[in-house]
Amino acid sequence: FTNVRVLATGFASDGAAIKNGSFENASSNWSFDSQSGVVGDALANPAANPAAPSGTSAAYVRGNGTFSQEISDFQTGASYALSFRAAQTPGSSQTFKALLDGTEVGTFTPGSAYAVYSTSVFSATPGTHRLSFMGLGGQADTALINDVELVLLPGTVMSQDAAADGSSLVAGIPN
């Protein structure tokens, strides 16, 4: 392929992208309520929390807590999925939802060790939308979330440039 631009990898030049998806800059780019926030790495005390897989921090959501980020530059006709890693704090049984503009795109109950999770495929109108994580557990239940990425799926328009024959450039990126 030529003239193909991959969007949503998290680089500043991309289209819709999560900013600070590993929570390294504390609460930068994210809004937290009183039952969510950022926790430092557990390497010094692994009995407290599992170590963050990407960087040294993770977001947490306790009880019915919520945290969110405004994401701009969604592309017309594109399909997306949200990918992240999540784990429970010791003794927790937290379930949480991922929402885009209040519409559920996935519900998750992570295990005690970090694992990769992804949402259902979704599309959005062009512009800015709010991504939220909302806890569904009891006050003592806490989930940790790290390495949040918005993934532009193959087969969606990757560039506004035209191919040599005038058609839109479409990706069929192999796995």
Among 68, 171, 78, 67, smallest CA distance to 121 is for 78
Residue 157 pLDDT: 47
Q: What percent of the chain has pLDDT over 90?
A: 47
- Compute the 3-state secondary structure of the chain and give helix, strand, coil in percent, each to the nearest 5: 0, 45, 55
Strand partners, 90: none
Residue 49 pLDDT: 81
Q: What is the pTM of this model?
A: 0.78
Among 147, 92, 102, 97, smallest CA distance to 124 is for 102
pLDDT tens string, the chain, 175 residues long: the values are: 333 334 444 333 345 689 998 898 766 899 999 999 998 865 555 567 888 888 888 999 999 999 999 999 888 888 999 999 999 998 999 999 999 999 999 999 999 999 999 999 999 889 899 999 999 988 889 999 999 999 988 764 444 455 455 544 444 333 3
Residue 64 pLDDT: 96
Strand partners, 103: 100
Q: What's CA 73's distance to the chain center, in Å?
A: 15
Residue 24 pLDDT: 85
CB atoms inside a 10 Å sphere around CB 170: 15
Residue 95 pLDDT: 97
